[in-house]
Chains A and B, each alone.
Chain A
Amino acid sequence: MARAVTRNARIGWTIAAWAVALLIFFPILYTIITSLKSEQEAIAGFDLIPSFTLESYQTVQSQNNYWRPFMNSVILSVGSTLLALVVAIPAAWAMAFSPTKRTKDILMWMLSTKMMPAVAVLVPIYLIFLRTGLMDTRIGLTILLMLINLPIVVWMLYTYFREIPGEILEAARMDGASLRDEILYVLTPMAIPGIASTLLLNIILAWNEAFWTIQLTTTKAAPLSAFIASFSSPQGLFWAKLSAASVMAIAPILVLGWFSQKQLVRGLTFGAVK
């Protein structure tokens, strides 16, 4: 009897979980379906069966070259992430391995900058970009995205580094390792999984960033997020093309996310302490 109840409960939970998952995934699914419709079908109303035409994709590609914003997205997300790591690794390192009384406060302060709505600084940043000639440049946007995600990168790296037991570093010192050896043979191998998952997550964050990329670019430096947006305004209501553009924008990051799932969830098992 008890068995039957738990089995029913399990089936119930499975159905519920699938329902929730489907609900969350539905907008993306419907985007894909719509992108495979003709414009007439798309406007016609709700319909889950498209005619599987690729015409929207063709128009999107011929009207607005896809590869240019794609390359911009790659450059901006990877560039800003690498730049952020260069700044954040030493910072997180210092805070994790030689903390002071103020370390926690500094971390909180850094994170608190993320609590401010982006619009609040839109005008000053817009003006700075305009005056310094950074408007619609890849370099300007790369630096901006780097700064925006920096608090999260520092925070993530800090928590990963904190998990490296200090005694292992002391053991290395006792074993005759110089600072260089310690970093090269002990710290880095142990820190790499944490750095890798931070890198992946930040690439995704930067890839999906839409507010600043739309505000501060027109064509030259516009990444895919701005590319999607360009379909919604000047061309009126072309649902199928908009959907096709969206699918093309999210596909690369979805693929990246899929292949790096393990790394994102992080499978590092420490076995040295206890």
Chain B
Amino acid sequence: MGQITLQGVAKRFGEVEVIPPLDLTIEDGEFVVFVGPSGCGKSTLLRLIAGLEDVSGGRILIDGKDATDASPAKRGLAMVFQSYALYPHMSVRKNIAFPMKMAGMPKPEQDRRIEAAAKALNLTSYLDRRPGQLSGGQRQRVAIGRAIVREPSAFLFDEPLSNLDAALRVGMRLEISELHNRLKTTMIYVTHDQVEAMTMADKIVVLQAGRIEQVGSPLDLYHAPKNVFVAGFIGSPRMNLFTGAVAADYGAQTIGVRPEHIRISATTGKWQGRVGVSEHLGSDSFFYVEGTGLAETVTVRSGGEVGLRHGDTVWLTPDEGKIHKFDTNGDRI
């Protein structure tokens, strides 16, 4: 079991209110991702749930029981840190065994679980090494191994992959997703990475300045962002946001169109512009179109290869059904 409920949880550091009172429920078995710009309070929120920081107000319930004042040890949660935070003076085996030793688990059971975790995480041949003798990816796997052996009611991850290179990151992302499918344990995952958020999450929580902007499934956020902030934050490349006359035509303060919902043509269309920078990835092409009078540049994504070059005059046509409209408060109409 691992249902976590935050009721009016707030955090102040001295005078600074980092997290104004917020409510959030994370269901048992869910994979929840916290995203938001740097400094918005993602780590702080995770540390409040972990018990590493004291709340300044509100209550935290774990499986319905008040855990607001419980020590981290008593909450039954496991955390994987960005810096791995392995014990440098212990072997991999001892690192993984540590939480079980603390729980007073019998030795044979400890060994059984270490073997199982090592096998699942490809660490069997490294069990007697020290963390200092491992690569970044291996260290991260040890940190995950240390978290899973105690069978916590929820896992907390704080940007666990951000110290790894791109290729390794993709591999570890899949491993963590698989782990979630296998264990069905609640996971709360903090990341900067759009792709991680979109691919791993059952539910994404978008934070800004400590406030929850929107909670929803990745596709909910993609198709129906609740406000301009979420619209601009979720999706890569970013959604195009236009204000002024074009927006007024649609009866809105701001309208948004995703790059993939704009057709680009050399002959006809709604808005005229000039190709600025273009990026060709083979599978996709991105065009940054200038001089449309809508915004400084309009990003357009086009499937496959398109024979347009720098300086070419082009016409853009938005997919009318996929235009997002926002009012003066920035809220979705």
Contact = CB atoms under 8 A, between A and B. Distances in A.
Interface of A: 165, 167-168, 170-178, 181, 185-186, 189-190, 269-274
B85 A273 contact: yes
A174 B83 contact: no
Contact of B85 (A165, A189, A190, A269): A165
Interface stretch (B19-27, B119-127, B128-136, B215-223): B128-136
A168 B87 contact: yes
A175 B146 contact: yes
B50 interface: yes
Given A185-B98, A274-B163, 15 more contacts: A170-B85, A172-B87, A173-B71, A173-B73, A174-B50, A174-B52, A174-B78, A175-B150, A176-B99, A176-B102, A181-B102, A186-B87, A190-B89, A269-B88, A271-B132
A175 B104 CA distance: 12
Contacts of B83: 165, 167, 272-274
B79 interface: yes
B103 interface: yes
Contacts of B71: 173
Nearest to A273: B83
Contact of B131 (A175, A186, A271): A271
A181 B85 CA distance: 17
A175 B146 CA distance: 8
Contacts of B275: none
A176 B105 CA distance: 12
Interface string B86-125: 1111000000001100110000000000000000000000
Given A167-B81, A170-B85, A273-B83, A175 B98 contact: yes
Nearest to A178: B73
Interface residues on B, range: 20 to 34
Residue from A168, A174, A186, A190 having most chain B Cβ neighbours under 10 A: A174
B72 interface: yes
B102 A175 contact: yes
Residue from B81, B84, B88, B133 having most chain A Cβ neighbours under 10 A: B88
A183 to B, nearest CB: 13
A220 to B, nearest CB: 44
Contacts of A186: 87
A176 B131 contact: no
A190 to B, nearest CB: 6
A180 to B, nearest CB: 11
Contacts of B139: 272
B264 interface: no
Nearest to A175: B99
B77 interface: yes
A272 B131 contact: yes
B155 to A, nearest CB: 11
A78 B73 CA distance: 39
A176 B84 contact: no
A168 B102 contact: no
Nearest to B86: A272
8 contacts: A167-B85, A168-B87, A171-B87, A172-B87, A175-B102, A270-B88, A272-B87, A272-B139
Q: Which of A168, A178, A269 has the most CB of B within 10 A?
A: A168
A171 B81 contact: yes
Q: Which of the listed residues A165, A272, A273 has the most CB atoms from chain B within 10 Å of its own CB? A: A272
Interface in B7-58: 50-52
Contacts of B89: 189-190
Contacts of B85: 165, 167-168, 170-171, 272-273
A26 to B, nearest CB: 42
Contacts of B51: 173
A189 B71 CA distance: 23
Nearest to A186: B87
Interface in B60-80: 71-73, 77-79
B133 A271 contact: yes
Task: Tell which of B85, B102, B146 has the most Cβ of chain A within 10 Å.
Answer: B85
Interface in B130-148: 130-134, 136, 139, 146
A198 B54 CA distance: 35
B119 to A, nearest CB: 21
Nearest to B82: A167
Contacts of A273: 83-85
Contacts of B103: 176
Interface centre among A165, A171, A177 (most CB of B within 10 A): A171
A163 B81 CA distance: 18
Q: Which 3 A-B pairs have the closest CB atoms?
A: A271-B132, A176-B102, A175-B99
A132 to B, nearest CB: 45
Nearest to B76: A176
A271 B91 CA distance: 11
B88 A177 contact: no
A175 B85 CA distance: 11
Contacts of B84: 272-274
Contacts of A185: 98
Nearest to A185: B98
A193 to B, nearest CB: 10
A220 B88 CA distance: 48
A176 B163 contact: no
A186 B98 CA distance: 10
A67 to B, nearest CB: 40
A272 B88 contact: yes
A166 to B, nearest CB: 9
